[in-house]
């Protein structure tokens, strides 16, 4: 008998997981409290941008295997229930807000059938899974709970779900592992590494991975600061150390730092949880990682002021990019959007362009000026800031752009543009961490 699955929370993670599990042949019911989101998904439409997911979702809706509702009782027939809700940073501190996770488990508890398995995929502080499992043993003793952290990269979510580089499951017994092996059999058959862990280790794997990536990004941004002070080139430095297999070249792109809905809040929640456990000294280095990341944004503003004026009220600045990374419409904790907002607060006239992120950005910062076309954004600008590495920005013709601006001054906050091409067209180019 083929297992039936439910997915609780149909945002970025949940909608992706639901569509991908359906594509593996499972009957999947997605549950979300947001009726407008459910209506969109039920029509085969996404409430966010993710390459390839729109096509997959539309195709799976036609099969009849995938459906969405706001009715939690619809999970009653399901065998495995994936918790995919958000764990944002608390409003009053660094810790993760577990409201949605706890309420989701509580909401499905009355409808869980004998032998069903609740599987957490949300990123949570270590100890959360055991707490929820203990509570579930009282409210729904006929069910069990496991943890299966997600490792999705925005822009590659479908690929990372169907062909992940590993599957990690935190379980308390063999039966839970066997159920998850049945769910993921098509993926395991591809040769995907399978890692069984206890509940705390499974929770720690995700935050440890994100902390390591954040450390690597902040490290190269710290080196960029030193390179600028010493007259060096951080891109050459990164290339040289990246050849060392112990280091590797991934995540060594110096720039304005990391953002999004995961890395910033996850490392802060990790520090908060470590303090609760009495292990705060072990993660003290993450405070500096966070500080370096925030400082990378300030460095861009410092460069703007050094070139134009400390008083920016008479200047127009075009910001290319609002999302925290390309191939996404996610503006959560976006360094690009944060820089744009800070420059506007300093008195500059700021115009923002982004291929996919304008509407989400407008909701965050409605007072910024947004333009749908690059040429309209840069018109009359005293400086252009390249802050999100969309492909279309790399393909811009600096000669054409040069005819539209007031001053040919470019800050490449991502070190992704061809400096020689822009300089040949008469532009002054400042790339972070590079002094030549």
- Taking the alpha carbons of 345, 351, 355, 360 in that order, is the dihedral positive or negative? positive
Q: What angle do CA 294, 299, 301 make, to 5 degrees?
A: 105
CA pair distance 212, 219, nearest whole angstrom: 10
Q: Tokens for 61, please give them.
A: 């809706």
Q: What angle do CA 420, 430, 333 make, to 5 degrees?
A: 120
3-state secondary structure of 194: strand
CA pair distance 340, 359, nearest whole angstrom: 15
Q: What angle do CA 11, 14, 18 make, to 5 degrees?
A: 130
DSSP string, 267-309: HHHHHHHHHHTT-GGGGTHHHHHHHHHHHHHHHHHHHHHHHS-
Q: What angle do CA 71, 157, 153 make, to 5 degrees?
A: 120
CA pair distance 203, 21, nearest whole angstrom: 22
Find the catalytic residue in 10, 84, 227, 262.
Answer: 262
Q: Give alpha helix (H) positions in 308-434.
A: 335-345, 358-364, 374-378, 391-394, 398-402, 419-424
Q: What angle do CA 110, 113, 117 make, to 5 degrees?
A: 100
Give yes or no: 10 in active site: no
List phi, psi (to 5°) of 5: -120, 150
CB 378 within 8 A of CB 401: yes
CB 172 within 8 A of CB 196: no
Across the beta sheet with 409-412, what order do the strands follow? 369-370, 349-353, 316-320, 383-386, 409-412, 428-431
| Residue 218: closest CA among 270, 295, 147 | 295
CA 139 to chain centre: 33
Residues annotated as catalytic are 262
């Amino acid at each position: 008998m083929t297992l039936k699955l439910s997915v609780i929370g149909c945002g970025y993670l949940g909608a992706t997981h639901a569509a991908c599990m359906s594509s593996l042949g499972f009957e999947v019911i997605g549950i979300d409290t947001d009726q407008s989101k459910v209506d969109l998904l039920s029509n085969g439409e996404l409430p966010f941008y993710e390459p390839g997911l729109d096509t997959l979702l539309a195709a799976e809706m036609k099969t009849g295997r995938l459906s969405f509702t706001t009715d939690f009782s619809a999970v009653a027939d399901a065998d495995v229930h994936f918790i995919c809700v958000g764990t944002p940073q608390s409003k009053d501190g660094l810790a993760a807000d577990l409201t949605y996770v706890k309420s989701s488990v509580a909401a499905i508890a009355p409808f869980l059938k004998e032998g069903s398995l609740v599987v957490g995929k949300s990123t949570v502080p270590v100890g959360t899974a055991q707490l929820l499992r203990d509570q579930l043993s009282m409210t729904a003793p006929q069910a069990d709970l496991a943890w299966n952290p997600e490792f999705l990269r925005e822009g590659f979510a479908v690929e990372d779900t169907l062909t992940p580089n590993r599957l990690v499951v935190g379980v308390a017994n063999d039966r839970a592992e066997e159920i998850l092996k049945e769910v993921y059999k098509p993926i395991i058959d591809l040769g995907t590494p399978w890692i069984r862990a206890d509940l705390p280790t499974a929770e720690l794997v995700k935050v440890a991975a994100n902390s390591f990536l954040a450390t690597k990004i902040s490290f190269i941004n710290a080196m960029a600061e030193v390179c600028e002070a010493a007259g060096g080139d951080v891109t050459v430095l990164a290339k040289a150390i990246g050849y060392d297999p112990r280091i590797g070249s991934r995540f060594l792109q110096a720039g304005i730092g990391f953002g999004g809905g995961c890395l910033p809040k996850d490392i802060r929640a990790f520090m908060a949880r470590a303090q609760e456990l009495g292990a705060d000294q072990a993660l003290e280095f993450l405070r500096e990682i966070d500080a370096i990341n925030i400082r990378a944004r300030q460095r861009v503003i410092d460069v703007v002021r050094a070139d134009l004026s400390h008083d920016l009220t008479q200047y127009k600045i075009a910001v290319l990019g609002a999302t925290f990374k390309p191939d996404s419409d996610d503006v959560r904790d976006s360094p690009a959007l944060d820089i744009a907002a800070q420059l506007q607060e300093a008195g500059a006239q700021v115009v923002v362009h982004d291929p996919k992120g304008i509407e989400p950005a407008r909701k965050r910062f409605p007072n910024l000026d947004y333009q749908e076309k690059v040429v309209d954004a840069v018109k009359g600008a005293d400086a252009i800031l390249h802050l999100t590495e969309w492909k279309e920005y790399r393909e811009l013709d600096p000669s054409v752009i040069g005819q539209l601006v007031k001053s040919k001054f470019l800050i490449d906050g991502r070190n992704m543009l061809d400096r020689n091409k822009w300089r040949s067209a008469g532009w002054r180019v400042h790339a972070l961490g590079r002094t030549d």
